Amino acid sequence: MPDEKPTLDHEHLPMKLGTEFISTFYRLLKGTTLYDRKSVVIDRLSQECLQVVNGIIQWEGNLLLKIVRDRFFFNNTRIIASPEKYLIFKAFWQEMRKRRIGGIEFSEAVSGEHLTDLACLLSGLEENNESNYLSVKEQLEHRRIESIEVGKLEFSKDEDISVDSEDQKKYSKEVYFRSIGLVKEVVESIHQQKTLPIRKAKRLMQNAVNAVMQDDSTLLGLANIKNYDEYTFNHSVNVAIYAMALGQRIGIPKKQLSHLGMAGLFHDMGKTKIPEEILNKTEKLSAEECSVMRSHPVVGTELIMGMKEWGELSARMMEGAFEHHLRYDLTGYPRLTQKKKITLFGRIVATADFYDALVRPRVHHRFPYVSEKIVGIMLERSGKDLDPAIVKVFINMIGVFPVGTLALLNTNEMGIVTQVQEDTELIDRPKVCLIYYSDGEYRKGKMVDLIEADEVSGDFKRSIVKTLDPNEYNINVAEFLI
Ligand SMILES: [Fe+2]
Ligand SMILES: [Fe+2]
CA separation for the pair 249, 422 (Å, rounded):
12
Q: Is 399 left (phi over 0), alpha (psi -120 to 50) or beta?
A: left
Predicted confidence at residue 104, as pLDDT, reads: 96
Ligand nearest to the CA of 238: 2
Predicted confidence at residue 156, as pLDDT, reads: 61
CA of 30 to the centre of ligand 2 (A): 39
Question: Given a cut of 90, is residue 339 above it in pLDDT?
Answer: no
Ranges 116-130, 213-227, 301-315, 426-440: which has the least confidence: 213-227
Ranges 218-227, 391-400, 443-452: which has the least confidence: 218-227
CA of 274 to the centre of ligand 1 (A): 11
CA of 75 to the centre of ligand 2 (A): 45
Question: Given a cut of 70, is residue 229 above it in pLDDT?
Answer: no
Length of the chain in residues, anyone?
482
Predicted confidence at residue 7, as pLDDT, reads: 46
CA of 194 to the centre of ligand 1 (A): 23
Give 464's contacts (C-beta < 8 A, 6+ positions apart): 401, 407, 408, 409, 410, 428, 429, 450
Predicted confidence at residue 283, as pLDDT, reads: 85
Predicted confidence at residue 5, as pLDDT, reads: 44
**CB 473, CB 442: distance < 8 Å:** yes
Section 457-479 average pLDDT: 89
Instruction: Kindly report the backbone phi and psi dihedral angles of residue 210, in degrees, each rounded to the nearest multiple of 5, phi listed first.
Output: -60, -45
CA of 114 to the centre of ligand 1 (A): 57
C-alpha neighbours within 13 Å on the C-beta side of residue 151: 13
Ligand nearest to the CA of 300: 1
Predicted confidence at residue 296, as pLDDT, reads: 96
Predicted confidence at residue 228, as pLDDT, reads: 60
Tens digit of each residue's pLDDT (9 = 90 or more) over 424-443: 888 889 999 999 999 989 99
The residue that leads in pLDDT, 8 or 97, is: 97
Q: What is the CA radius of gyration of the chain?
A: 24
CA separation for the pair 300, 103 (Å, rounded):
50
With cut-offs at 50, 70 and 90, classify the pLDDT of residue 116. very high
Q: pLDDT above 70 covers what percent of the chain?
A: 93
Ligand nearest to the CA of 296: 1
Tens digit of each residue's pLDDT (9 = 90 or more) over 160-184: 544 567 888 889 999 999 999 999 9
Question: For the chain, what is the total number of helices (H) and then of strands (E)?
Answer: 18, 10
CA separation for the pair 13, 76 (Å, rounded):
13
With cut-offs at 50, 70 and 90, classify the pLDDT of residue 2. very low
The alpha carbon torsion through 23, 29, 31, 32 (nearest 10 deg) reads 170
Section 197-215 average pLDDT: 91
CA separation for the pair 90, 85 (Å, rounded):
9
CA of 267 to the centre of ligand 1 (A): 7
CA of 264 to the centre of ligand 2 (A): 9
Tens digit of each residue's pLDDT (9 = 90 or more) over 272-321: 999 989 988 888 899 999 999 999 999 999 999 988 778 889 999 999 99
For the chain, how are helix, strand and coil distributed in percent, rounded to 5?
50, 15, 35
CA of 236 to the centre of ligand 1 (A): 10
CA of 191 to the centre of ligand 1 (A): 18
CA of 40 to the centre of ligand 1 (A): 52
Ligand nearest to the CA of 324: 1
CA of 102 to the centre of ligand 1 (A): 46
Q: How far apart, in Å, are the Cα atoms of 265 and each of 34, 121, 243?
A: 41, 46, 10
Average pLDDT, the chain: 89
CA separation for the pair 111, 54 (Å, rounded):
9
CA separation for the pair 67, 58 (Å, rounded):
23
Would you give the DSSP letter of residue 247? H
Question: Given a cut of 60, is residue 70 above it in pLDDT?
Answer: yes
Predicted confidence at residue 51, as pLDDT, reads: 97
Q: What is the end-to-end Cα distance of the chain in Å, rounded? A: 36
Tens digit of each residue's pLDDT (9 = 90 or more) over 368-400: 566 778 889 999 999 999 999 999 999 999 988
pTM: 0.86
Ranges 104-113, 298-307, 418-427: which has the least confidence: 418-427
Predicted confidence at residue 338, as pLDDT, reads: 82
CA of 383 to the centre of ligand 2 (A): 20
CA of 295 to the centre of ligand 2 (A): 13
Predicted confidence at residue 1, as pLDDT, reads: 43
Predicted confidence at residue 368, as pLDDT, reads: 59
CA of 354 to the centre of ligand 2 (A): 7
Question: Given a cut of 80, is residue 259 above it in pLDDT?
Answer: yes
CA separation for the pair 83, 461 (Å, rounded):
29
CA of 236 to the centre of ligand 2 (A): 7
Closest CA to 267 of 322, 186, 195: 322
Predicted confidence at residue 232, as pLDDT, reads: 76
